[in-house]
């Protein structure tokens, strides 16, 4: 499909790996319902291939890939596999429900450093294993993609040898990844050009690129590769992924669209008006904060404070904007909703924001909307995102529920004097209520200590971020944290290597309560991720 010699030679396929490489970001683990929601959004966005996971990694990963394959209606669904029969069989079984849209993505390292230190294999062994893996994959699934891991640091002649071998074995897509973000745009483009000149049959398959952002060049390298003939770009929403992340889907798509002079005739199947909604959905589910100055979808992407800029914008928006907010789905203005707003108006605004609330959740959503509207004079877009997170997705991971929270400081002490704070917390899980109190060097610390005691965990907050998600004095605050957590058994203590670093998020008009919700969200996600929680039994 779409080889360089086909009538669609200028169509660039968008291969989204948010659910696989993106989930490998520390703290970005997602549960099944969240993955299904993101997969639906990616299909609506127009993504061509969804890499849904690494099926052999765990039973949960297999189940998620299989469920996404069963749910999908248009996109190709891909499962990752090492060049091992067991991996390939597992991936093929997981994507099988997608029918003729199923793909298995096989990879094997090719660079000298990987051959010597990771695989301990000679060049001939690498070629043989790659060829045999693809040939075996073809007996199970017709659409096989092969990746030469660490291709950008592989000797070009040897890389060409491996590529030729897997093409002959039946691979339909050849990925030339910049696995460690080492490539430089001009060198990377030259590598793609050289492979096209050297490798027989490469013009009959799709050349793909998968670039990491360790030097901040993932998007630049991907664009250089497209100009050199690559016709599939592997990327993630918001650029999330291992280490410094992956090529950002929204940035690479809009760069090709806005700079048509540099990419004449190049097209994608992406509906750019849905980029903002997809970005906010992934941010909301993963809890990974998006920097305000993030290109395309950041809060400041279309903000203008300078008087000179504002004057130019009033005369002609093109003076300081190379694309319109509407072109990527950024709301031009906030539609203010309140307690008198009806379901139709709320649904229309959600649709404008690119957020889908299933009909089965709509009654509960409207009840939560009315409750919030009674506390606030106006409901803004940020409030709607917050309600979607709470009502639609919050129950899918929740194990502990926050019922009551009260904080107080030592009598007569000022907030800045270092007074000890006391927090009393009541939680419910599976119909059982537990209450405990703890002290700390501030209200948030006291709440965290109380939550640790009730939930039976040891934990510390490694990153804490606060932002307002709506306007006004009664605005909701969003707390995003990264916590290092491990469950504590009564006897003996759990081994330190059980600790996980995981994200959590809370939203409230009260910052201490938002902090409590964020930390509890992280605890609940830990329970989902490791499949167990051990509870202390000494609390009332």
- Residue 223 within any structural domain of the chain: yes
Q: CB-based contacts of 160: which residues, under 8 Å, 6+ apart?
A: 194, 195, 198, 199
Residue 341 has a pLDDT of 77
**How far is the CA of 155 from the CAs of 10, 120, 143, 162, in angstroms?**
29, 17, 27, 11
Same domain, 217 and 140: yes
pLDDT at 395 over 60: no
Match 């297999």 to its residue by tokens. 62
Residue 4 lies in a domain: no
The residue segments making up the domain with residue 266 are 13-286
Distance of CA 56 to the CA centre of its chain: 20
* Residue 51 in this model has a pLDDT that exceeds 90: yes
What is the band of 202 on the pLDDT scale with cuts at 50, 70, 90?
Answer: very high
- Judgement on whether residues 215 and 363 belong to the same structural domain of the protein: no
Q: pLDDT value at position 535?
A: 30
**251 and 342 both lie in a single domain:** no
Least confident among 37-41, 244-248, 269-273, 398-402: 398-402
Whole-number pLDDT of residue 396: 40
pLDDT band at 205 (very low <50, low <70, confident <90, very high): very high
Distance set, CA 102 to CA 43, 52, 167 (Å): 15, 11, 19
For residues 63 and 142, state if they share a domain. Answer: yes
Q: What's the pLDDT at 394?
A: 58
Q: Are residues 406 and 495 in the same domain?
A: yes
**425-473 pLDDT, tens digit each:** 999 887 889 999 999 988 999 999 999 999 989 888 988 888 776 666 6
Q: Tell me whether residue 292 is in a domain.
A: no
416 Cβ contact partners less than 8 Å away, ≥ 6 residues apart: none
Q: Does residue 464 share a domain with residue 343?
A: no
- Asked whether residue 366 falls in the same domain as residue 258, the answer is no
**Looking at residue 470, what is its pLDDT?**
65
Domain boundary among 396, 414, 445: 396
Closest C-alpha among 451, 443, 517 to residue 478:
517
- Is residue 405 one of the residues assigned to a domain? yes
Query: CA–CA distance from 161 to each of 118, 127, 129, 156, 514 (Å)?
Result: 20, 8, 13, 9, 56
Mean pLDDT of the residues in the chain: 85
Contact 206, 3 (CB under 8 A): yes
Selected residue with higher pLDDT from 185 and 348: 185
Whether residue 144 sits in one domain with residue 121 = yes
Note whether 105 and 117 are same-domain residues: yes
Q: Are 38 and 64 in contact (CB under 8 A)?
A: no
Q: Beta strand 432-440 with 173-175: parallel, antiparallel or unpaired?
A: unpaired
Number of domains within the chain: 4
> Residue 111 is encoded by which pair of tokens?
């660079």
141 with 244, same domain: the answer is: yes
pLDDT of residue 509: 82
The answer to whether residue 497 is domain-embedded is yes
Instruction: Please tell me the distance from the alpha carbon of residue 55 to that of residue 292, in angstroms, as a whole number.
Output: 35
Q: Per-residue pLDDT averaged across 33-41, rounded?
A: 93
Q: Pick 419 or 132 by higher pLDDT.
A: 132
Confidence of residue 197 (pLDDT cuts 50, 70, 90): very high
pLDDT of 355-365, one tens digit each? 778 888 889 88
What pLDDT sits at residue 226? 98
Same domain, 270 and 350: no
Q: Which CATH number characterizes residue 116's domain?
A: 3.20.20.70
Beta-strand ranges (E) seen in 341-470 are 401-409, 421-429, 432-440, 457-468
The 432-440 sheet, strands edge to edge? 401-409, 421-429, 432-440
Provide, rounded to the nearest whole percent, the portion of the chain with pLDDT above 90.
Answer: 54
| End-to-end CA separation in angstroms for the chain | 63
**Nearest residue to 245 via CA among 211, 283, 281:** 211
Query: How large is the average pLDDT for residues 111-137?
Result: 97
């Amino acid at each position: 499909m779409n080889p360089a010699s086909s009538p669609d030679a200028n169509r660039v396929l968008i291969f989204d790996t948010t659910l696989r490489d993106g989930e490998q970001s520390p703290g970005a683990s997602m549960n099944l319902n969240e993955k299904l929601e993101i997969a639906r959004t990616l299909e609506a966005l127009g993504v061509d291939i969804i890499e849904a996971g690494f099926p052999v990694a765990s039973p949960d990963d297999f189940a998620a890939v299989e469920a996404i394959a069963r749910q999908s209606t248009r996109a190709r669904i891909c499962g990752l596999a090492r060049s091992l029969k067991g991996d390939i069989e597992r991936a093929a079984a997981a994507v099988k429900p997608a029918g003729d849209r199923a793909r298995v993505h096989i990879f094997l390292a090719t660079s000298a450093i990987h051959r010597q230190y990771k695989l301990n294999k000679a060049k001939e062994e690498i070629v043989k294993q790659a060829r045999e893996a693809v040939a075996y994959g073809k007996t199970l699934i017709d659409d096989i993609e092969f990746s030469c891991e660490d291709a950008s640091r592989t000797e070009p002649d040897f890389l060409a040898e491996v590529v030729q071998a897997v093409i002959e074995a039946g691979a339909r897509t050849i990925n030339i990844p910049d696995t460690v973000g080492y490539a430089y745009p001009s060198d990377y483009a030259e590598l793609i050009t050289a492979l096209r000149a050297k490798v027989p049959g490469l013009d009959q398959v799709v050349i793909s690129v998968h670039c990491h952002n360790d030097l901040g060049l993932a998007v630049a390298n991907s664009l250089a590769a497209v100009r050199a003939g690559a016709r599939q770009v592997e990327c993630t929403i918001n650029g999330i992924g291992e280490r410094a992340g992956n090529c950002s889907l929204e940035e690479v798509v809009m760069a090709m669209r806005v700079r048509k002079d540099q990419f004449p005739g190049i097209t994608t199947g992406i509906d750019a008006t849905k980029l903002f909604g997809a970005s906010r959905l992934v941010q909301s589910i993963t809890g990974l904060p998006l920097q305000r100055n993030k290109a395309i979808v950041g809060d400041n992407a279309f903000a203008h404070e300078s008087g000179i800029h504002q004057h130019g914008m009033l005369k002609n928006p093109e003076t300081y904007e190379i694309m319109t907010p509407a072109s990527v789905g950024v709301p031009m203005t906030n539609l203010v909703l309140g307690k008198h707003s009806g379901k139709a108006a709320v649904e229309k605004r959600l649709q404008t924001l690119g957020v889908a609330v299933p009909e089965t959740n709509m009654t509960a959503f409207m009840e939560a909307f009315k409750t919030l509207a009674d506390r606030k004079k106006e409901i803004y877009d940020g409030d709607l995102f917050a309600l979607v997170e709470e009502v639609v997705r919050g129950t899918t991971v929740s194990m502990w529920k926050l019922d009551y929270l009260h904080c107080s400081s030592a009598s007569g002490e000022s907030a800045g004097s270092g007074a000890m704070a006391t927090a009393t917390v009541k939680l419910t899980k599976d119909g059982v209520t537990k209450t405990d109190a703890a002290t700390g060097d501030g209200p948030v610390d006291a709440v965290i200590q109380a939550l640790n005691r009730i939930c039976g965990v040891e934990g510390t907050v490694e990153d804490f971020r606060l932002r307002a998600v709506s306007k006004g004095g009664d605005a909701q605050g969003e707390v995003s944290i990264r916590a290092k957590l491990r469950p504590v058994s009564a006897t003996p203590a759990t081994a330190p290597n059980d600790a996980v670093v995981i994200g959590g998020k809370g939203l409230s008009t009260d910052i201490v309560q938002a902090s409590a919700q964020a930390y509890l969200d992280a605890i609940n996600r830990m329970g989902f991720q490791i499949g167990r929680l051990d509870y202390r039994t000494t609390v009332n």
